[in-house]
Amino acid sequence: MTRSALIPDTVTLHVPFRIVKRGGRKEMQMPEGATHSQRTDNTLVKALARAFRWKRMLESGEFATIAELAEREGIAASYMTRVLRLTLLAPDIVETVLHGRHPPELTIARLLEPFGLHWHEQAGELLNLRRDERRAKEISNATGSLRT
């Protein structure tokens, strides 16, 4: 079988993206408006799993205090309390993280920061991070242009 058209040896494809660091790992960040593949963040999933496991261990009476459990796990009690706070997240946020549909700005560091106890507040704080970040940039750019 012969072909009349020439087939090039190489094909060049240009894909706009940038490399960002998340949790010590490098990730590819697509441009605004591009479709993102849903991939779960193992660090977030592991933190949620630990939080609910530790909560169950405390509630069952297996350990009397957070300090006792933290010592058994070989971690600081203050870190354990921050992770245990993840059990107070709204169920839809937990589901969003487990299915990899959370914004890329939602990192373990951000989740371990204090957040509101009311579920509707949490969604605004934690799931709308990209919009808030964009708005902060717009404000920063506007105030920067006023200074010049």
CATH of residue 118: 1.10.10
Residue 115 has pLDDT above 50, yes or no: yes
The boundaries of the domain holding residue 115 are 38-147
Distant-in-sequence, close-in-space partners of 128: CB < 8 Å, separation ≥ 6: 103
Decide if 104 is inside a domain: yes
Decide if 19 is inside a domain: no
The residue among 46 and 40 whose pLDDT is bigger is 46
Decide if 134 is inside a domain: yes
Cα–Cα dist 87/36, whole Å: 27
In this prediction, residue 4 carries a pLDDT of 61
Average pLDDT, the chain: 80
User: Residue 29: enclosing H or E segment and its boundaries?
Assistant: strand 25-29
The count of C-alpha atoms lying within 13 angstroms of the C-alpha of 48, restricted to the half-sphere facing its C-beta, is 19
Provide the domain count of the chain. Answer: 1
54 touches 69 (CB < 8 A): yes
Decide if 26 is inside a domain: no
Q: Crossing angle of helices 77-84/66-73, nearest 10°? A: 110
In this prediction, residue 35 carries a pLDDT of 61
Distant-in-sequence, close-in-space partners of 20: CB < 8 Å, separation ≥ 6: 26, 27, 29, 104
Decide if 16 is inside a domain: no
Decide if 24 is inside a domain: no
pLDDT per residue as tens digits for the range 20-36: 887 677 777 777 766 65
129 touches 106 (CB < 8 A): yes
The residue among 71 and 132 whose pLDDT is bigger is 71
* pTM for this prediction: 0.64
Band (146; pLDDT cuts 50, 70, 90): very low
The count of C-alpha atoms lying within 13 angstroms of the C-alpha of 25, restricted to the half-sphere facing its C-beta, is 10
The residue among 127 and 85 whose pLDDT is bigger is 85
Cα–Cα dist 25/116, whole Å: 28
Q: Which of 8-12, 65-69, 85-89, 142-146 is predicted least confidently?
A: 142-146
Cα–Cα dist 6/100, whole Å: 43
Band (143; pLDDT cuts 50, 70, 90): very low
Residue 78 has pLDDT above 80, yes or no: yes
